[in-house]
Amino acid sequence: MSFLSATLSRVKPSPTMAITAKAGELRAQGRDVIGLSAGEPDFDTPQNIKHAAIAAITAGHTRYTPVDGIPKLKEAVVAKMKRDHGLDYTTAQVSVGSGGKQTLYNALMATLNPGDEVIIPAPYWVSYPDMVLLAGGEPVVVEATLENRYKLTAEQLEAAITPKTKWFIFNSPSNPTGAGYSHDELKALTDVLMRHPHVWVMSDDMYEHLAYDGFEFCTPAQVEPGLYDRTLTCNGVSKAYAMTGWRIGYAAGPEVLIGAMRKIQSQSTSNPCSVSQWAAVEALMGTQDYLAPNARIFRRRRDLVVSMLNQIDGVECPTPEGAFYVYPSIAGLIGKTTSKGTVIDSDETFATALLEEAEVAVVFGAAFGLSPNFRVSYAASDEALREACTRIQVFCKALK
């Protein structure tokens, strides 16, 4: 009998973390690797948020809190949902967890039975399919193509729904493509969902505030109020407020689901860090003034990376609406050989050769369910991005 669980054999470790580790190894050997693989802003957490955390420690907010969040943070989430999306929730409809990842995982753990299907548009955030598998469900991956700018069409969604579908996971702006759905594009999907009342919607709005060129963010429960009773609107402070290490995420939805998520959390991790919760109150309720300047910086970096990558023959890089990722296709490079003799037969070979031969770390597309592509995270300085893109250009030009 195996010591490790059968469930474990269904999942794989996060490939993004594996690439970051490999880049770290090369750096430790003294190699000058530029890392464009990590999914976190390179900004520091704003001062007002740090001060709120220090004040919380001084005030003694260092004990256990209610399992799924302090009342003040739940009130802040309720206010944020109203302010930003016009959505009405009560504090009993809010769950706070240790990062967006935990709230999504709790929701899947609380609802999936063997055989339940979860529709996941690809390219997807690496954790969705594996979280579904850990929770005992079946991921149903539907590929959104480059031709449709990595967005799922209503026809594709309609065709993927079966009587066993429990959830549709929606992520806009997206990790890994940066694609953001306009109101009309999202409405086309919510119209489909209105015809299938057994399907619930898990909207992952983590990159809400990272949107450019006047893109207007919208979330399913806002676009189609008819879905309110079966939508879990998920978000967090990690990306917008540069708080990845603080581990606070939250979700709002029907009370019965929030209660089920609380039960899972109560028997696994209990409350998220008390100090981080107070910091998150300040993030949501304090000044939002730095969001727009940060978005302008990211937009400039996006434009730099897109234009440099599109100068390469064989690479096609659409300009995404948001997040801090681009997802170029390398269809035109497959079959070529690097100057060191490596045949590029997949995006994984491409990313490995790029790291070893050109010292740039990116994540290969297969990790996100759509190939042949790679993901660039442009949460890095302009100089690092310029140098990395120059190295990618030189590497690709040398391919025979």
Ligand X SMILES: Cc1ncc(COP(=O)(O)O)c(C=O)c1O
Query: Least distance from C-beta 113 to ligand X, angstroms?
Result: 24
The binder of ligand X chosen from 100, 318, 320, 372 (CB under 6 A): 100
**Complex with ligand X: residue 111 or 175, whichever CB lies closer:** 175
- Rounded Cα–Cα distance for residues 67 and 98 (Å): 11
Site string for ligand X, 330-369 (x = CB under 6 A): ----------------------------------------
Stretch that binds ligand X, among 20-28, 97-105, 251-259, 330-338 (CB under 6 A): 97-105
Per DSSP, which regions of the chain are E strands? Answer: 34-35, 94-97, 117-122, 138-143, 165-171, 200-204, 231-236, 249-252, 325-326, 360-361, 363-364, 374-377
Shortest gap between Cβ of 118 and ligand X (angstroms)? 15
* 129 lies in the binding site for ligand X (CB under 6 A): no
Q: Tell me the C-alpha to C-alpha distance, in Å, between residue 9 and each of 15, 18, 141, 298.
A: 16, 18, 19, 38
CA 36 – CA 378 distance, rounded (Å): 6
Candidates 216-224, 236-244, 288-296, 363-371; binding stretch for ligand X (CB under 6 A): 236-244
Q: Of 77, 78, 91, 103, which is closest to residue 283 (Cα–Cα)?
A: 77
Pick the closer one to ligand X by CB: 238 or 277.
Answer: 238
What DSSP state is assigned to residue 169?
Answer: E
- The answer to whether the beta carbons of residues 40 and 379 sit under 8 Å apart is yes
**Interface with ligand X includes 99 (CB under 6 A)?**
yes
Asked if 209 touches ligand X (CB under 6 A), the answer is no
Is the CB of 171 or the CB of 222 nearer to ligand X? 171
Quick note: the x/- pattern for ligand X over 133-172, rule CB under 6 A, is: --------------------------------------x-
Residue given tokens 């990395």 in the structure block: 388
Residue 60: what are its φ and ψ, rounded to 5°?
85, 20
CB of 148 to ligand X, least distance (A): 19
How far apart (Å, rounded) are the C-alpha atoms in residues 298 and 290?
12
Give the separation between CA 238 and CA 246, rounded to whole angstroms: 7
- Least distance from C-beta 359 to ligand X, angstroms? 24
Which of 102, 274 has the CB closer to ligand X?
A: 102
Q: Does 175 bind ligand X (CB under 6 A)?
A: yes
- Residues comprising the chain, all counted: 400
Of residues 101, 230, 262, 301, which one binds ligand X by CB under 6 A? 101
Token digits of residue 113: 């039975």
User: Should residue 206 be labelled a site residue for ligand X when binding is judged by CB under 6 A?
Assistant: yes
Tell me the closest approach of the beta carbon of residue 236 to ligand X, in angstroms: 4
- Our CB check for ligand X shows the closer of 131 and 353 to be 131
Work out how close the CB of 193 gets to ligand X at its nearest, in angstroms, rounded to a whole number. 20
| Site stretch for ligand X (CB under 6 A), options 19-27, 93-101, 211-219, 387-395 | 93-101
> 123 near 373, Cβ under 8 Å?
yes
Angle between helices 347-358 and 382-397 (to 10 degrees): 110
Cα gap 181→201, rounded to integer Å: 15
Q: Write the CA distances from 122 to 128, 290, 366, integer angstroms.
A: 10, 32, 10
Residues 241-280 contacting ligand X, CB under 6 A? 244, 249
User: Nearest approach, Cβ of 101 to ligand X (angstroms)?
Assistant: 3
Query: Can residue 173 be called a binding residue for ligand X (CB under 6 A)?
Result: no
Q: Are 137 and 287 in contact (CB under 8 A)?
A: no
Of 124 and 395, which has the nearer Cβ to ligand X? 124
Name which position in 89, 105, 125, 298 contacts ligand X (CB under 6 A): 125
329 binds ligand X (CB under 6 A): no
Least distance (Å) from ligand X to the CB of residue 395? 27
Query: Buried b / exposed e across 45-68, counting CB within 10 Å, b at 16+?
Result: bbeebeebbeebeeeebeeebebb
Beta-bridged to residue 326, according to DSSP, are: 376
Contacts with ligand X by CB under 6 A lie at 39, 99-101, 125, 171, 175, 204, 206, 236, 238, 244, 249
